[in-house]
Amino acid sequence: MSGWSTSDIPDQTGRRVVITGANSGLGAETAKALAAAGAEVVLAVRTTAKAEPVAAEIGPKASVRRLDLADLASVRDFAEGFDGADVLINNAGVMAVPLARTADGFEMQIGTNHLGHFALTALLLPKITDRVVTLSSEVHQIGNLDLDDLNWEKRKYGRWRAYGDSKLANLMFGKELAARLGSSGSTVQSLVAHPGYAATELQGRSGNWTDRFAKLANRLPIAQSAAGGALPTLYAATSPDASSGGFYGPTEFFGMHGAPGPSRYHKRADDTVKRERLWTLSESLTSTTFGV
């Protein structure tokens, strides 16, 4: 693979990065690469025991803290003990799972992938000095948020549509945050990334026939490693060429794999009226507010 790689990560010595869901897959590879470049990394995970081996592999630059994005009380506990960082990476997520509810009654995918990260970012933003990177997906293309039924209380549940909605919400949030930070004169940037198709533990948890398809696809040339899938996140988090409001992903094979760069996205993400409505609704549901 040619183009931008981990060898292009600027020196991260003296910098601190918080990464949600860093116990495996993309998050773990992101943490390893940043620590190798000199950063201190905080692995923010639901089950700390699962992250301890990753922290042990990284060494003294890594620490582990508990964070359950499906429980706003846990998000608030994490934020209360937070003493600042240069970068927040909203990486954790669930994909195409059967209908379930978070501790606060949200549909599990929108609750974990979007609302949990929305609340976390709101609470941590005053102590972030450089960037917020939020993970979306190419599956955002099938998302079409119903803001009158965000939590799937009225509609027949569709696990893939719900996942697409959550990833569209991630993209819209990242772009709206960038716009608001820019308008407020803040120097903090908000960027969005997607991994293309990376073979990780995220696949295979749908509980239906798509699990078998995912396991097969993970063995095909369209899939890249978790380390390859982490490159767009690393680019967004560290590259001086990455711009606030930008969406970055693999640049080869229709955005499935390859070196990171600017990525196409659905025009729905540029609907500023809907972005503002999603923002207001998210603040209401999570009982959080932003200073931008």
**Mean pLDDT over residues 230-252, rounded?**
97
- Rounded to 5°, the CA angle 198-225-138 comes to 20
Confidence of residue 263 (pLDDT cuts 50, 70, 90): very high
Q: What is the pLDDT of residues 28-80, one digit of tens each?
A: 999 999 999 999 999 999 999 999 999 999 999 999 999 999 999 999 999 99
Please report which confidence band the pLDDT of residue 201 belongs to, taking 50, 70 and 90 as the band edges.
low
Has residue 211 been placed in a domain? yes
Residue 289 covered by a domain: no
Q: Which pTM does this prediction carry?
A: 0.92
Task: Tell me if residue 235 is catalytic.
Answer: no
The whole-number pLDDT of residue 21 equals: 98
Residue 128 lies in a domain: yes
For residue 255, pLDDT beyond 80: no
The reply to whether 99 falls in a domain is yes
Domain ranges, residue 49: 8-284
- C-alpha 193/C-alpha 118 separation (Å) is 16
Residue ranges in the chain assigned as alpha helix (H)? 25-36, 48-58, 72-80, 108-109, 117-124, 159-184, 210-217, 226-229, 231-238, 272-286
| Catalytic position from the list 163, 197, 235, 248 | 163
CATH number for the domain that contains residue 126: 3.40.50.720
Please count the structural domains in the chain. Answer: 1
pLDDT score for 257: 78
Does residue 173 sit within a domain? Answer: yes
Query: Does residue 292 lie within any of the structural domains?
Result: no
